[in-house]
Amino acid sequence: MNAPTLIDALRAAVGDAHVLTADRHDLSAYEQDWRKRARGRALAVVRPGSTAEVAAVVKACLAEGAALVPQGGNTGLVVGSTPDDSGRQVVLNLGRMNAVRGIDSANLTMTVEAGCVLQSVQEAAEAAGLLFPLSLAAEGSCTIGGNLATNAGGTQVVRYGNARELCLGLEVVTAKGEIWNGLGGLRKDNTGYDLRDLFVGSEGTLGIITAATLKLHPQPAARLTAWAAVPTMEAAVDLLALAHRHLGPGLTGFEVMGQFALSLVDRHFPQLRVPLWRDSPYCVLLENSDSESEEHARTQFERLLETALEAGTVSDAVVAESIAQAQGLWHIRESIPLAQAEEGLNIKHDISIPVSRIPAFCAETDTLLAREIPGVRLVNFGHLGDGNLHYNVQAPLDADPARFLAEQETRVNTLVFDAVARHGGSISAEHGVGSLKAACLPHYKDAVALGLMRSIKTALDPQGLMNPGRVLA
């Protein structure tokens, strides 16, 4: 690779002001991942302003054999969008491509560029009287391109599905620098292989998502939130079944939070006033989005909770009386990762298990970790409604968190991932594989599936220049 020649070609493609190099700029925001688990060194950070410019950048890198690392908001949790430390990779940051290209209210779709921040997408839909339901804690900084590249989940998957289910079409720049325009907002198109689903979830290893046509929904007439204390994980699963029965498609959120997870929020953010956690092993946060009225939604909630209280599934519960109270309850749930970070470095897991197997998984794995690493603390919370747990492991109280992470991460991951496999689950539910889990994938992914994935990668990116070292190690 001739670095000066490549830099000149990149500047010709996007303009001198949009090619950032270490000799002229501070690149730290682009070179370090959100969790501060890795710090790389980029040859350059390129910020194209159009799909044509992205294509030109890809062709320039292809000509010089330089690897490309696509990057959106850089909020990922598996080190999937930062360069390695070689100083030879080009970071392709899509932040300038943030336009809403159009909203088709009759078709219930909107077309946006990949650099649009998720919250901006939500607000644009709301301004049109519609709903884009993808919602996650990083929505104020993550981008729709990254959400699609990792098939993000979030808090409303139980009703609306992952990012994949919310996408009707894509615009992609291929590894050859060609532009595929697949932005049609069709719900039915049975004309061959589904290329959209190939690129969604591929983590930038097959091509660069530059725009997407997204599926919108009508705004609900009312949205209510409840917080319930449950005695066991089995009771939480029973409550989920009751919620499906009583609320039907109105059930748009179902989050479970372990007692220790909530104790960290109470310790580090006491102003949030966490309800009902002291006397209950788990709490559940439910959301009911009703198409009729607030009165109807509240009646449904009251009947659900009355049934659950009578059955002993719930020991106590509160229903938010205002939007502010509901937002406060959700803020508590979203503060768990922040509270855990305040407590110290930790080992994070993003796993999915069939909902029916979650109680057995937790009982088995809790006991296993307590036996193997005495004093270990489990921060268990997540999207129980779709079987996704963030089963995180905190160091014992008297241990140094950094040393615990360095010495125990591989062992803890093996114990947890082996248990996930025994219960028919996945080691990555919504965060992706990135580079953190790439080496683990061959141990837990079907060998035939891995072979097919490698064949696709070779066919679409024969030089291996698209986000190398991610997903497939």
**Whether pLDDT at 397 is above 80:** yes
Tell me the Cα Rg of the chain. Answer: 23
At 35 the pLDDT is 80
∠ CA 338-339-343, rounded to 5°: 115
Query: What is the arithmetic mean of pLDDT over 216-232?
Result: 95
For 442-457, the pLDDT digits (tens) are 999 999 999 999 999 9
Mind giving me the DSSP string for 298-333?
HHHHHHHHHHHHHHTS-SEEEE-SSHHHHHHHHHHH
> First vs last Cα of the chain: how many Å apart?
22
What pLDDT does residue 255 have?
97
Alpha carbon distance 27, 33 (integer Å) = 12
Q: What is the mean pLDDT of the chain?
A: 95
Taking the C-alpha atoms of residue 436 and residue 464, their distance in angstroms, rounded to an integer, is 19
Per residue in 70-87, pLDDT tens?
999 998 888 889 999 999
pLDDT in tens, 181-215: 999 899 999 999 999 999 999 999 999 999 999 99
CA angle 65, 69, 71 (to 5 degrees): 155
Per domain, the residue ranges of the chain are: 3-93, 100-218, 222-337, 344-422
* Phi/psi-derived region of residue 396, left when phi > 0, alpha when psi is between -120 and 50, beta in every other case: beta
* pLDDT of 28 over the 80 cut: yes
pLDDT at 151: 96
13 CB-near residues (< 8 Å, 6+ apart): 46, 48, 53, 56, 57, 60
Across 329-347, average pLDDT: 93
- How far apart CA 149 and CA 432 sit, in angstroms, is 9
Q: Which two tokens stand for residue 3?
A: 């670095």
| pTM as predicted | 0.93
d(CA 147, CA 419): 28
User: For residue 294, is pLDDT > 90?
Assistant: no
**Average pLDDT of 156-171?**
96
Question: Helix or strand or coil: residue 32?
Answer: strand
Residue 66: the pLDDT is 97
Q: 370-402 in b/e burial notation, b at 16+ Cβ within 10 A?
A: eeebeebbbbbbbbbbbbbbbbbbbbeeebeee
How many CB atoms lie under 10 A from the CB of residue 3? 14
**Are the folds of 100-218 and 344-422 the same?**
no
- Return the ∠ at Cα 199 (arms to 166 and 461), rounded to 5°: 170
Q: How many CB atoms lie within 10 A of CB 276?
A: 17
Q: Bridge-partner residues for 172, per DSSP?
A: 180, 209
- Domain 100-218, CATH: 3.30.465.10
Residue of 371, 376, 406, 372 lying closest to 391 (CA atoms): 376
Helix axes 233-247, 358-372, angle to 10 degrees: 160
Residue 119: its pLDDT value, please? 96
pLDDT of 29 over the 80 cut:
yes
Q: What percent of the chain has pLDDT over 70?
A: 100
Does 473 have pLDDT greater than 80?
no
Amino acid 2: pLDDT: 86
Q: What is the number of residues in the chain?
A: 473
Answer yes or no: is pLDDT of 1 > 90.
no
pLDDT score of 137: 84
340: closest CA among 261, 448, 252, 253?
261
The rounded distance, in Å, linking the Cα atoms of 224 and 245 is: 17
Per-residue model confidence (pLDDT) at position 297:
87
- Residue 81 to residues 40, 103, 147, 300, 327, Cα–Cα distance (Å): 10, 29, 12, 43, 31
The domain 344-422 is classified under which CATH number: 3.40.50.970, 3.20.20.150, 3.30.70.2740, 3.40.50.300?
Answer: 3.30.70.2740
pLDDT tens string 319-334: 999 989 999 999 999 9
**What is the third-level CATH fold of 3-93?**
3.30.43
**CATH class, range 222-337:** alpha beta
Q: With bands split at pLDDT 50, 70 and 90, how would you rate the model's confidence at 4?
A: confident
Amino acid letter, 254 = F
In this predicted structure, the answer to whether residue 267 has a pLDDT above a threshold of 90 is: yes
What DSSP element (H or E) covers 225? strand 222-230
Q: Which two tokens stand for residue 41?
A: 């060194």
Strand partners of residue 102: 111
What is the per-residue pLDDT across 123-143, written as a single tens digit (0 to 9) for each? 999 999 999 999 988 899 999
Distance separating alpha carbons of residues 139 and 128, to the nearest angstrom: 19
Both tokens assigned to 418 = 């082996």
Band of residue 461 on the pLDDT scale cut at 50, 70, 90:
very high
